[in-house]
Amino acid sequence: MTYQSQSVAKPYFIAAIGLFIGQILFGVILGLQYVVGDFMFPEIPFNVARMVHTNLLIVWLLFGFMGSAYYLIPEESETELWSPALALLMFWIFLVAGAATILGYLLVPYATLAEITMNDLLPTMGREFLEQPTVTKIGIVIVALAFLLNIGMTLLKGRKTAVSLVMFIGLVGLAVFFLFSFYNPENLVKDKYYWWFVVHLWVEGVWELIMGAILAFVLIKTTGVDREVIEKWLYVIIAMALISGLIGTGHHFYWIGTPEYWQWWGSIFSAMEPIPFFMMTIFAFNMVNRRRRNHPNQAAVLWALGTSVMAFLGAGVWGFLHTLAPVNYYTHGTQITAAHGHMAFYGAYVMIVLTMISYAMPLLRGRTQANSNKSQVVEMWSFWLMTVSMVFITLFLTGAGVLQTYMQRYTETPMSFMEVQDKIAIFYWLREGAGVVFLIGLLLYVSSFFIGQDEPEATVPE
């Protein structure tokens, strides 16, 4: 840690991991509800548990992105953060608002929550991933503005690098596109169309800039490869991300009441969306192979390589699997989508945040370069447990999805949704098993923060 104010990143990372645990616990509940339909019913019905699962994911990733920015921007800018106090204040506001929202989901019926938060004044609730009460959404905007001000002022007074600039553009885009969540027209087709301006332009747009910037930062630090080389790669990757991803939004506009031409635009451009992810894989492995030094934090390097591979598989390959309109006609809204969603989010965004935490947390906790060998070994075990179990979750859901697509959509004698669900239950049981292993991996990950803390730092492997 070069600048004192980088330490504000620490509470952000701790909160991120805490909420991550909650997310996975609810994931395990959901997985069980798929096969034991009345599990926790009617206290925590599926829709509530799912809302908690997905909203916790979004909130903890935002904590992770903000923490990453608070760590990365001062170091890149070679100056202290503009206002550490503002960053801490926003941390508490965001945490309290987030926790209150999740408790609201769990403690009162959703319709009651809508009523007491006065959703009628500006109805924005009840749309997938944007379930937060309108007042929470306004809170998110306030936190985001204060955050961008803080980061922007830091950037202005310090050194401008490509890494920090790309990170900033990504974060500004995140805040700007979130504003579409306040637009909820009565016309269902328009509602759906602009809903994707938040969801798609986040995860298949500006979030890729954030991911690219964090990956570039960690690679600069851990490989010692010349910044010019890394930043050139970064620009090419994010250029491809937006060139393919902006019009790639069209792959959501095939069947929601929008014109037929989107089947062409969406298919062609979204078919190119794997390219930036593939380049990220090549980039990460290339930089590590050309390293000028061996960094003692081998766990961070593992996460960096891992995220590049898993993002390509999850977002790239599993996205391509069902992105062409003639295929999507049959797979749209099946377990194929769920399979893709799980691996893409884990591979790209969970793992990039864990990469940053893995690199920065030892330094934030007073190490000079890395954790002890013992701690890193546990962390790397957790990497493999979580990553391999996520591969299996994805494979099982894909199996379920292929069968569902065939039995419910493709065959001459289609069966009803619930009949098909019964027939593919075995895949849901297997997925639940993999989910439990993921949870074990996560607990191991958390334990790595408490193991080997009294031992000396790992040394550079020869």
Partner 1 sequence: MSETFTKSMARNIFYGGSVFFFLLLLALTFDTNSALPELDNRQNLTEQVAHGKKVWETNNCIGCHTLLGEGAYFAPELGNVYKRFGNSTDAIKGFIMSRPKDGIPGRRSMPQFNLNAEELEAVAQFLKYASEINTQNWPPNIQG
Q: Could you tell me the smallest distance in angstroms from the CB atom of residue 462 to partner 1?
A: 30
Task: Tell me whether residue 249 or residue 307 sits nearer to partner 1 (CB atom).
Answer: 249
Among 268, 275, 321, 338, binds partner 1 (CB under 8 A): 338
For partner 1, the binding residues in 248-287 under the rule CB under 8 A are 249-250, 252-260, 262-263, 265
Site size toward partner 1 (CB under 8 A) is 78
Task: Tell me whether residue 51 or residue 95 sits nearer to partner 1 (CB atom).
Answer: 51
Task: Tell me whether residue 249 or residue 355 sits nearer to partner 1 (CB atom).
Answer: 249
For partner 1, the binding residues in 382-421 under the rule CB under 8 A are 408-410, 414-418, 421
Instruction: Give CA separation, 322 vs 42, 69, 317, 345, 429, in Å.
Output: 34, 34, 9, 16, 24
Stretch that binds partner 1, among 18-26, 231-239, 365-373, 383-391 (CB under 8 A): 231-239
For partner 1, the binding residues in 90-119 under the rule CB under 8 A are 110-111, 114-115, 119
Q: Name residue, tokens 């849901």.
A: 428
- Quick count: other Cβ atoms within 10 Å of Cβ 388? 14
If DSSP states are collapsed to H, E and C, what string results for the chain? CCCHHHHHHHHHHHHHHHHHHHHHHHHHHHHHHHHCCCCCCCCCCHHHHHHHHHHHHHHHHHHHHHHHHHHHHHHHHCCCCCCHHHHHHHHHHHHHHHHHHHHHHHHCCHHHHHHHCCHHHCCCCCCCCCCCCHHHHHHHHHHHHHHHHHHHHHHHHCCCCHHHHHHHHHHHHHHHHHHHHHCCCCCHHHHHHHHHHHHHHHHHHHHHHHHHHHHHHHHHHHHCCCHHHHHHHHHHHHHHHHHHHHHHHHHHCCCCCCCCCHHHHHHHHHCCCHHHHHHHHHHHHHHHHCCCCCCCCHHHHHHHHHHHHHHHHHHHHHHHCCCCHHHHHHHCCCHHHHHHHHHHHHHHHHHHHHHHHHHHHHHHCCCCCCCEHHHHHHHHHHHHHHHHHHHHHHHHHHHHHHHHHHHHHHCCCCCCHHHHHHHCHHHHHHHHHHHHHHHHHHHHHHHCCCCCCCCCECCCCC
Among 164, 281, 323, 334, binds partner 1 (CB under 8 A): 334
Q: Name residue, tokens 């040394």.
A: 459
Q: Could you tell me the smallest distance in angstroms from the CB atom of residue 294 to partner 1?
A: 24
Answer yes or no: are the C-beta atoms of 238 and 216 closer than 8 Å.
no
Amino acid identity, position 113: L
Q: Could you tell me the smallest distance in angstroms from the CB atom of residue 120 to partner 1?
A: 8
Task: Tell me whether residue 8 or residue 234 sits nearer to partner 1 (CB atom).
Answer: 234
Task: Tell me whether residue 425 or residue 443 sits nearer to partner 1 (CB atom).
Answer: 425
459 contacts partner 1 (rule: CB under 8 A):
no
Task: Tell me whether residue 203 or residue 361 sits nearer to partner 1 (CB atom).
Answer: 203
For partner 1, the binding residues in 199-228 under the rule CB under 8 A are 228
Task: Tell me whether residue 12 or residue 233 sits nearer to partner 1 (CB atom).
Answer: 233
Q: What is the gyration radius of the CA atoms in the chain, in angstroms?
A: 22
Q: Could you tell me the smallest distance in angstroms from the CB atom of residue 393 to partner 1?
A: 14
For partner 1, the binding residues in 28-87 under the rule CB under 8 A are 33-34, 36-38, 41-42, 45-48, 50-51
Q: Could you tell me the smallest distance in angstroms from the CB atom of residue 225 to partner 1?
A: 13
Among 157, 159, 232, 365, binds partner 1 (CB under 8 A): 232
Task: Tell me whether residue 76 or residue 231 sits nearer to partner 1 (CB atom).
Answer: 231
Task: Tell me whether residue 295 or residue 340 sits nearer to partner 1 (CB atom).
Answer: 340
Q: Name residue, tokens 């908690």.
A: 52
For partner 1, the binding residues in 180-199 under the rule CB under 8 A are 184, 186-193
308 contacts partner 1 (rule: CB under 8 A):
no
Q: Could you tell me the smallest distance in angstroms from the CB atom of residue 171 to partner 1?
A: 15
Task: Tell me whether residue 375 or residue 408 sits nearer to partner 1 (CB atom).
Answer: 408
Q: Could you tell me the smallest distance in angstroms from the CB atom of residue 397 to partner 1?
A: 9
177 contacts partner 1 (rule: CB under 8 A):
no
For partner 1, the binding residues in 127-146 under the rule CB under 8 A are 127-128, 131
